[in-house]
Structure 1
Amino acid sequence: MIATPPVPPLVLVFAASDPSCGAGIQADILTLASLGCHPLAVVTALTVQDTVGVESVHPVDSETVERQARALLEDMPVAAFKVGVLGSVENVVAVAEIVADYPDIPLVLDPVLASGRGDEFANEDLRAAMRELLLPQCTLITPNTVEARRLVEDEAEEEGPEDDLAQVAARLLALGSQYVLLTGAHEQTAQVSNTLYGENGLLRQDDWERLPGSYHGSGCTLASAIAACLAGGSEVEEAVREAQEYTWQTLAHGFRPGMGQFIPDRLFWARGEAEAGEDA
């Protein structure tokens, strides 16, 4: 009799569809599968975009978002949530209500506010809804430094831009997330420094070689990789380190299929093995 194979960790993703498969829910699926998880995908919006930029965003209605998620959660045990672009305030409300029913499941939020070109994904109302409804439920949020500053600037309208990243992280933690990982690709530094903060302040700083070029979906890859590691049983600090290593490798092996940004190669390891087999 053939034994039933074990079920891999299941990660439920809420994100928008990107037809280029460079970012969005397609990037999440590739990343989670590459790291040994089985992705469950709830589409929150359809986008018209390519590697150059985003032309338009078309949110899925919140009832359909909720029905997708509830059907999956009633059928299968989820080990982690990952949240990306939600597309509307109504979808933020729906997702917040869903995850509130599962407080013991880790939640990783990638607060995507704009595309790499600067195309807007989240207006002021949507950002406010994220801060008020989702951040208090997050295990970890993964904003780049530009996104982090925008989130706290919205919260303190009369204050100017924050330059001290430790203060930015502290203010995000005060909004309710257990951990904040600030990614430093947008800073003018020789290396990319990613800093993890918790309730007691700085927990770790990881410095990575700054690669040439611009990448489509690097933030999606990192957040999904962290969710995969958490689903596999890693603690937050370990998950953050493992996910950064994986993400850097996807960028180092990235390719440029179109006229815009490079796309991270989430299956770099498989192509490396295939090439090694051809050389043997």
Structure 2
Amino acid sequence: MDATHPSAPPVALCLGGMDPSGGAGLLRDALALAELGCQPMAVSLAETLQNGLGCSRIDAPAMDPVQRLETLAPHLAGRWGVKVGLCALEADTFRRLCATLRHLAPPVRIWDPILAPSAGVGLHDGGDLRRLAADLLPMGGWVVSPNRGEAAAFAGLPPEAIRAADPSALATPWLEAGAAAVWLKGGHAAGDVVQDLWITRDGTEALDAAPRLPGQRRGTGCLLSASWLGLRLRGRDDHAAAREAARRLRERWDHAFTPGGMGRPMFAPVSTYLGSASLESAAREAR
């Protein structure tokens, strides 16, 4: 089966951090994308010492990620897209990576800008994210999916402003940097209701509101952005993909688990709680 075959899966390229436990990062991306019938490919932009208890170290990868990306280039044709996540690259290497992406021209693009893993050591501040954006976003067509903390840092706002900040003040700096749309996630906002916002230069659209679920889960940002990429590659439009990604996350919330009984809960693979018939039905629905 070649790429022109009508049933060939789309390719979803993930550029991000390697969390060896699979709770977040490239492994979480790959699981989410495979469940949606996509062929995941991955290039590490950050290596971590990380488990369910937290992250203790983040380094740049030993092998040149640009060479790895160039090696994958023959596979990147037809229906394909890219997700960018955690990045520990030096500025010159990231600039080369962006130049290669610009040449490859992925049809679907999402950047999940990460300041730090949810527990443990940090990596970036707002200035770092602005420097990454200056190289990545001018190529055009990027959806950026920050939470409120990441958006506030990018905008130069103090941490105490996160919950009360005007969404337009959080989104405008991304748009001015070149983003096509900002998917502002609502989990860090105040209140018992979570509501994501889809913000472009044309205005703001409130996505589906839902009650705040109890507890925390690892890898929510990774799961949402990877699911959005997979759903877009399966034919959803931008807004529908965001809504469905959020719905899929909520449906999985109660199926989180702690491997070995240790650490913070992570999302379980769908196959562990859906029977084969349900899996086949879910796969058909995603297509």
Tell whether the structures are fold-level matches, with TM greater than 0.5.
yes
Give the C-alpha shift of residue 118 in structure 1. 5.6
Partner of 1:164: 166
Partner of 2:61: 60
Partner of 1:24: 25
Give the counterpart of 1:120 among 122, 140, 143.
Answer: 122
Matched, 1:216 2:218: yes
State how 1:230-241 maps to structure 2 within 5 Å.
230-241=232-243
Query: What is the RMSD computed on CA atoms of the aligned residues?
Result: 2.5
Give the counterpart of 1:256 among 255, 258, 276.
Answer: 258
Give the C-alpha shift of residue 238 in structure 1. 1.4
Matched, 1:142 2:145: yes
Give the C-alpha shift of residue 269 in structure 1. 5.6
- Tell me which stretches of 4 or more aligned residues in structure 1 moved more than 4 Å: 274-277
Code of the residue aligned with 2:84 in structure 1: it is V
**CA distance in structure 2 between the partners assigned to 1:236 and 1:100 by the alignment:** 21
Q: Would the aligned equivalents of 1:14 and 1:44 in 2 still touch at CA under 8 Å?
A: yes
* TM-score normalised by length of structure 2: 0.85
Question: Gaps (5+ residues) in structure 2?
Answer: 280-287
Question: Gaps (5+ residues) in structure 1?
Answer: none
Task: Tell me the SS of whatever aligns to 2:95.
Answer: helix
Give the C-alpha shift of residue 270 in structure 1. 5.5
Q: Would the aligned equivalents of 2:60 and 2:89 in 1 still touch at CA under 8 Å?
A: yes
**CA distance in structure 2 between the partners assigned to 1:44 and 1:106 by the alignment:** 19
Code of the residue aligned with 1:259 in structure 2: it is M
State how 1:79-94 maps to structure 2 within 5 Å.
79-90=80-91, 91-94=93-96
**Number of residue-to-residue matches in the alignment:** 268
Partner of 1:131: 133
State how 1:182-197 maps to structure 2 within 5 Å.
182-197=184-199
Matched, 1:203 2:205: yes
Q: Would the aligned equivalents of 1:43 and 1:60 in 2 still touch at CA under 8 Å?
A: yes
**CA distance in structure 1 between the partners assigned to 2:255 and 2:137 by the alignment:** 33
For residues 136-159 of structure 1, what are the alpha-carbon distances to aligned partners after superposition, in whole Å with 9 as ceiling and x for unaligned?
3352111000100101118xx9xx
Matched, 1:7 2:8: yes
* TM-score normalised by length of structure 1: 0.87
**CA distance in structure 1 between the partners assigned to 2:6 and 2:173 by the alignment:** 45
Give the C-alpha shift of residue 206 in structure 1. 2.0
Q: Would the aligned equivalents of 1:89 and 1:129 in 2 still touch at CA under 8 Å?
A: no
